[in-house]
Amino acid sequence: MTFSTQITPAENEVATLILAHGAGAGMHSDFMADMAIRLAEQKITVIRFDFPYMQIMTETGKRRPPEKIDKLEAHYLAQIDALRSSVSTPLFIGGKSMGGRVSTLILDQADVAGSVVYGYPFHPPGKPEKLRTAHLEALSKPLCIIQGERDTFGTKGEVAQYPLSSSIETVFLQDGDHSLKPRKASGITFDDNMATAVSATVTFINRHIHD
């Protein structure tokens, strides 16, 4: 299995976070790169990786759909196994949207301390009946979901109604969309929401480092 990774090392690191990308943009996207830098500044080393279909997209320049979810899960688990021996601090996993969802599907079986998701895709936009929450109801390991209040994949009002496991905490970003971006009229900036997302991530990871 071929792996494509990017490490953003932290000085005096206290934890390591493996981050998977969303469906349409890989590990080098602005969001992924920005989040990695911000977290590294907070003593969390970030390892980003591309799923196989994204590696092919990068090589060919042609868009491809993601592999089926079971293949994405298998690749994420293999990625963890490949990195485990080189990681000396508590290991967490997570990701943006689709990548984050995959991390939650493997969380209970993976040798990791917890997961952080930025923009969980609770359902496809416009299809609130097609929920992707069944496994979240019985999750036992710690999970932090950082969600925009008006995310079309799951708004604050919608998420409040889901019967999620008590091991899950949700943090809502003011007026944020699926990319965590607020509207200008809100008076909140994207940088504000990113700073809140980083703060929530650091607080969550520090709380569960010694679990």
pLDDT score, position 103: 98
**% of the chain residues with pLDDT over 70:** 98
Decide: helix, strand or coil at residue 46: strand
- pLDDT mean over 9-28: 95
Condensed to tens digits (0 to 9), the pLDDT of residues 57-95 reads 988 989 889 999 999 999 999 999 999 889 999 999 999
Tokens representing 164 are 């999620």
**Does the global pTM surpass 0.85?**
yes
- Give strand pairing partners of 15: 44
Please answer whether residues 96 and 19 qualify as being in contact, where contact means their C-beta atoms are separated by less than 8 angstroms.
yes
Q: How many CA atoms lie within 13 A of 86 on its CB side?
A: 11
Dig out the tokens for 103 from the structure: 């991390």
Percent of the chain with pLDDT over 90: 92
Radius of gyration of the chain (CA): 16
Domains observed in the chain = 5-208 (3.40.50.1820)
